[in-house]
Structure 1
């Protein structure tokens, strides 16, 4: 692309596997909490678990309701990397009622400022998540939608990945790949290391597929199809 305008990342975590208290504390703490995100190139105050929208994930995940989550590193990293004026990171479980309930809680907290702390809610929410998870699926997914301009024309590209089992491991995949590189002596730089400086696209695709991840692409308004080399 000649210019990148918007980057939208969407996560569909599995609900079968149970999470630890730290994840729930972060989720509840961010609900309704204000932070600044780029919108059309303008720093804009948004709130955690707001801006709901329906997103179509690749099979077997399908259609999910996702919300803007709390402040993520994407807001800074992607702005510097590709100059996008609008960046959002959204997520949603497979249970629409749960997503709507969290969105309602966030809206009330953003308006009233209460409760000021959510730590005492963690055990209750975690227990409810475990109960709901007994009826959930292990599949998980992630998509990236990039919109911009090429040769004077607007263009949108979508890439996705899914795991049919243990979908909650998707966020840790890059860390695992990095460990492989460190142990093999291929990654020796210390400190913050940009992904594209040590992992070529074809290496990333190979590493993901070796870990049971299916890769997808979607052009314009067509459906998802397997991403072939």
Structure 2
């Protein structure tokens, strides 16, 4: 029997990929958990079993965690800052990783640090495109600088990529709300899904509009790299939805609507009507500016997904961590954001089977 890994929400958009990848790891046994295990039929297979678990029911969660080596939590959105599963793992000495990209949730995971250290387990939040992949790419570029002054990251997925209701709710959570970001050494406030920019991605993606988003990088990168300006933007392939979100943001700012989350089901359904439009290709860009040998320096990398396997990118950090924990153990216990735990080579190893390439310009 291998080490038992519980994937919560393992039949969702990201959970299916993660479950299959973990099941393929030698010495791992993957257990898919959720409230509706019948939905896991497309996931089940060799080395994958299913259990029923309600993470909001203490008895159900306690039973599900028995005998587990680690837990991967894909059940979003994480904007509510609920640490129920992470804390339950810390109490029992079970390693934990989630795919949160919510700024406060990822940063405040450190509140569980003392308990995790006492129980000799590692609790990790943010094993997703941000901050895990974005930080790994900045770390890769960092040796090219004596000092980093600016970091600008953006993401634009292809319209034909699968996306869940949780992703729509996550975007709406900050659309039109004030977000705090560092610019030229000073903190300022802007609004979510505003201040659009056009970014030219390598072919076949081309130009995309991207908008300010609230992510953990905005706090973590100034502290980690000493950057005086840090931005993060995201955009959808179809400008119809970009403009629609921008309009909703303006409505929220003017007090015309308060609960944008209520729009999530309708927006998700509308996006499905246009699923045949656009393409599958998408990309992530990390642009770093600073100084090297007393000269200004700038380096940019693009992580390009040329087909519908773009979701493999946010899934890769959690799989890489599980693989490392199983094969090499955990170096040090604690509760931390997923920054500095993985190198680009670690993440790249989980993407080799997909048409995903790194482009340096």
Corresponding position of 1:141: 283
Whether 1:73 aligns to 2:216 is yes
Corresponding position of 2:318: 175
- The runs of 4+ residues in structure 1 deviating greater than 6 Å are none
Inter-CA distance 28–172: structure 2 relative to 1 (3 Å threshold): same
Structure 2 residue corresponding to 1:94, chosen from 224, 228, 237: 237
Instruction: Note the C-alpha offset of 1:139.
Output: 1.7
Corresponding position of 2:184: 40
TM-score (norm 1): 0.85
Q: Is the 8 A contact 2:310 2:356 kept in 1?
A: no
Corresponding position of 1:107: 250
Other structure's SS at 2:336 match: coil
Q: Is the 8 A contact 2:152 2:231 kept in 1?
A: yes
Corresponding position of 1:215: 358
Whether 1:156 aligns to 2:298 is yes
Instruction: Note the C-alpha offset of 1:201.
Output: 4.3
Q: Is the 8 A contact 1:58 1:161 kept in 2?
A: no
Other structure's SS at 1:167 match: coil
Listed one character per residue, the Cα deviations across residues 95-132 of structure 1 (whole Å, up to 9, x for unaligned) are 1232122223213322x133111122111101111111
CA distance in 2, matches of 1:18, 1:203: 24
Listed one character per residue, the Cα deviations across residues 190-210 of structure 1 (whole Å, up to 9, x for unaligned) are 3326643x4344444444435
Listed one character per residue, the Cα deviations across residues 33-73 of structure 1 (whole Å, up to 9, x for unaligned) are 0021111111101110011000011232221010011x211
Other structure's SS at 1:93 match: coil
TM-score (norm 2): 0.55
Inter-CA distance 16–31: structure 2 relative to 1 (3 Å threshold): same
After TM superposition, the structure 1 = structure 2 runs for residues 108-123 of structure 1, keeping only pairs within 5 Å, are 108-110=251-253, 112-123=254-265
Of 52-61 and 42-51, deviating more is 52-61
Instruction: Note the C-alpha offset of 1:153.
Output: 1.7
Corresponding position of 1:23: 167
CA distance in 2, matches of 1:32, 1:24: 14
CA distance in 2, matches of 1:138, 1:185: 36
Q: Is the 8 A contact 1:42 1:85 kept in 2?
A: yes
CA distance in 2, matches of 1:78, 1:98: 29
Q: Is the 8 A contact 1:5 1:148 kept in 2?
A: yes
Inter-CA distance 66–207: structure 2 relative to 1 (3 Å threshold): same
Inter-CA distance 59–186: structure 2 relative to 1 (3 Å threshold): farther
Corresponding position of 1:57: 201
Instruction: Note the C-alpha offset of 1:169.
Output: 2.8
Other structure's SS at 1:184 match: helix
